[in-house]
Amino acid sequence: MKQTVTMKFVAPLALIAATASSFTFPTSTRTTSALKASKQNDETSIDRRDFFISSAAKAVSISALVATNIDVANAAAPSAQYSKLYQPDPHSMDGKIVVLTGGNAGLGLESTKRLAKAGATVVFTSRDQVRGNKALDEVNEYLKEGNTDESFVGKAIVVTLDLCDLDNVKSFKNRLEAAIGKDSKIDVLMNNAGVMAIPDKRITKDNYEQTFQTNHLGHFALTSSLLPMLSSDARVINVSSEGYQFAAKGLDLDNLNGEKEYGPWSSYGASKLENIYFTSELQRRASESDAYKNLKAFTLHPGAVQTDLARYLIGEEKFAAMKEKGFTSLKDKILFETLAKFVKTVQEGASTQVYLAAADISQLDKDAGKFFTDGKVEKLQAFALDSEKANKLWSMSEEMANVKFEL
């Protein structure tokens, strides 16, 4: 059976790299060397621009290896043609409590704004209190702007969380209860925070590879610890990515921590596949339980978003300077304009996760446990539907994080 790899995630990297460095798509004779060149060992540290270009080369190389048919129809379309902005109706989330990780920037910050505008109390997390407070000020300004509704109740609260420290993750529940009250119930848990394609292998204080712990294990432990606070019909939303296809051979359970080898994109792809497995297994277990049979889990691809690509591949400060102060070279100008054309704005990128958090459950009930793109269910590759591997990952994650889901 031939495998098809969608290029919504991969193509923007390749197209931008071609612009930035006169990069040409690798032929079959270049594939092996491109893959070897893109691997990083533990000691390697390289310039972000060089990494950006080599990462795009790897993206194309991987697609050449695992794809026989490549769907590029959506990849080359301007973002406005495949994105719709979703804003919940005013007061539609009054009284709802949303907990959202990674809310001080990007998709998380945008989601916080729009959910709070609909009336929710949004508790967003930030590793750093100062950055969190700065984001909170921005949210408050957004909520005040043009608002004359005296019955408006939406608000945001920031609470610190470090997903790379499991002790900190497990103590988050106490900090959350201090912020919203011990008897409060969470209506939506949005596991949004994440890292992308870290050039070097980095180890957390818990002795786990950083991408694995940030994108999967930390959120797995957080969800477990917050389970008693979830309402009976809560939604758990795990932000994944079509980048899961970088793990096209399937999840290697013997290399979760990069024990055998580490590659920036293969590690990222594996973590996004883990998000998908976690979602499907959580939904299966919840539906079979008495206490959480009405819980709904969803996962999604937000799209290739400007801010995320800029942060991890170009450098956030350089990208901001390019936007605000002009361009130091024609190459930078072309690079920025190409990036803006072929990827989503953060407003567009946040729409699917906001939709999953706020839409009437009657629109979503039958699709619990599934993978969404642009507000609709997308069919996953066969290797992402491996229920046996999802179950094994769950058991291994409980052991590694030293937690137990009481479903």
Q: Yes or no: say if 352 and 300 are a contact pair by the CB < 8 Å rule.
A: yes
Kindly name the residue from 142, 208, 268, 292 that is annotated as catalytic. 268
Counting every residue written for the chain, the total comes to: 407
Rounded distance between C-alpha atoms, residue 99 and residue 253, angstroms:
30
Mark whether 268 is an active-site residue. yes
Q: Which strands, in side-by-side order, build the sheet including 121-126?
A: 155-160, 121-126, 97-100, 186-191, 230-239, 296-301, 371-373, 376-377
Question: Other CB atoms closer than 10 Å to residue 326's CB: what's the count?
Answer: 9
371-373 and 4-6 strand pairing: unpaired
Return the HEC string of the chain. Answer: CCCEEECCCHHHHHHHHHHHHCCCCCCHHHHHHHHHHHCCCCCCCCCHHHHHHHHHHHHHHHHHHHCCEEECCCCCCCHHHCCCCCCCCCCCCCCCEEEECCCCCHHHHHHHHHHHHCCCEEEEEECCHHHHHHHHHHHHHHHHCCCCCCCCCCEEEEEECCCCCHHHHHHHHHHHHHHHCCCCCEEEEEECCCCCCCCCCCECCCCCEHHHHHHHHHHHHHHHHHHHHEEEEEEEEEECCHHHHHHCCCCCCCCCCCCCCCCHHHHHHHHHHHHHHHHHHHHHHHHCCCCCCCCEEEEEECCCEHHHHHHHHHHHHHHHHHHHHCCCCHHHHHHHHHHHHHCECHHHHCHHHHHHHHCCHHHCHHHCCCEEECCEECCCCHHHHCHHHHHHHHHHHHHHHCCCCCC
Rounded distance between C-alpha atoms, residue 295 and residue 175, angstroms:
24
- By annotation, the residues acting in catalysis are 268
